[in-house]
Amino acid sequence: MGFQEILGQEDAVLVLSRSLENDRLAHAYVFSGPEGVGKALTAFALAGALLCPGGPEGPEGPRAANRACGACPACRKVAARSHPDLIVLEVLPDKKEISIDQVRDVQRAVSLRAYEGRKKVLIVNAADCLSSAAANAFLKTLEEPPEDTIIVLVTSQPHLLLPTIRSRCQEVRFRPLSDETVARFLVERKGLDRARAAMLAAVSAGSLGKALAGEPGEAAARRDSAIDILARAAAEPMEERTALAESLAKGEGEAEALIEWADLVVRDLLMASIGRTDRLVNVDRAEDLGRIAERISTSALFGLAEEIGRARTALRWRGNPRLVMDVFLQSAAAVMAVQREAARP
């Protein structure tokens, strides 16, 4: 894995490869940005560039100083995470935090000389998961960084790092990926058809990790159920909605998933209602979406979009999911029922 394979993070890659070229890397970095946009991949690409002793010459001549050859034993060890000069600190399976004992082990490892390369690379994955004791211990390493070690803290929540840790690192920001980048990757590398790829890309909020985590079949099922719920909301008796809210709140992440899909569906309903069917994400459901859009006025759709925004904020601030879903479904029904009455002759 080299820098050339990192998608859509040109700024971050440019900063790092320039610093490599000029031999001006910082001692410590924070790679921050949303989940699943290539932060850890870039950290490993940086490790590769530092630990590769120089592989076979390419068509453009000798290997550039800022990239790994990808083929030599050192590069293969980096890819397999078995290079002795690559140290990875992360939450152990079935644990929630990085412990102080793990930090102490790592401190011992970085205090030794590099085995094979000139440098050692320490990658801290999900650095916001350092326990507070571990973070305080880790601070020592940043205060007196070993001469030959480059440290990279990877996090999607940089605000959770100790300010004293953050201030000792150079921050490299990673952006959400564009829908096109995610969709193109899904089509070209994962063989998804264009419609599925566009749908997954739209709901992934710029995170390739998120788009890849969802099975396309499962995503379509969730999307279909969101369309169903919205289409029926106004016609169903209130008790049905309450029961639905209860069952959504029980499943891990169900409420959040419904809100994200509902958002995408309402966006499509708005496109359909202004006649822009060429802009639909859910092209495979275009007919149904058109039928629903006919029954609902554009202002009701905006009302619905607002309700979605409210529910999303409430869920994010750890509102009780059952209550949030109940309020969302009742208000969605109310918004849609009023407009249906008004639309009647």
The residues of the shown chain that bind Zn ion, judged by CB under 5 A, are: 52, 55, 68-69, 72, 75
Q: Least distance (Å) from Zn ion to the CB of residue 7?
A: 22
Of 78 and 315, nearer to Zn ion (C-beta) is: 78
Q: Least distance (Å) from Zn ion to the CB of residue 75?
A: 3
Q: Which two tokens stand for residue 221?
A: 């099922």
Determine the residue type at 288. Answer: D
Of 13 and 333, nearer to Zn ion (C-beta) is: 13
Q: What are the residues facing 106 on neighbouring strands?
A: none
Of 42 and 282, nearer to Zn ion (C-beta) is: 42
Of 51 and 106, nearer to Zn ion (C-beta) is: 51
Residues whose CB falls within 8 Å of the CB of residue 19, separated by 6 or more in sequence, listed in order: 25, 26
Of 58 and 253, nearer to Zn ion (C-beta) is: 58
Of 34 and 55, nearer to Zn ion (C-beta) is: 55
Going from the C-alpha of 292 to that of each of 23, 130, 142, 273, the distances in angstroms are: 60, 48, 58, 9
Determine the residue type at 329. Answer: L
Residues whose CB falls within 8 Å of the CB of residue 169, separated by 6 or more in sequence, listed in order: 26, 28, 29, 30, 142, 151, 153
Q: Least distance (Å) from Zn ion to the CB of residue 90?
A: 24
Q: Least distance (Å) from Zn ion to the CB of residue 62?
A: 12
Going from the C-alpha of 244 to that of each of 140, 234, 239, 265, 330, the distances in angstroms are: 52, 13, 9, 19, 11
Residues whose CB falls within 8 Å of the CB of residue 47, separated by 6 or more in sequence, listed in order: 78, 83, 86, 121, 123, 152
Q: Least distance (Å) from Zn ion to the CB of residue 154?
A: 22
Query: Using CB atoms, what's the residue nearest to Zn ion?
Result: 52
Q: Least distance (Å) from Zn ion to the CB of residue 265?
A: 47
| DSSP letter (8 states) at residue 64 | P
**Residue in the block written with tokens 């644990």:** 95
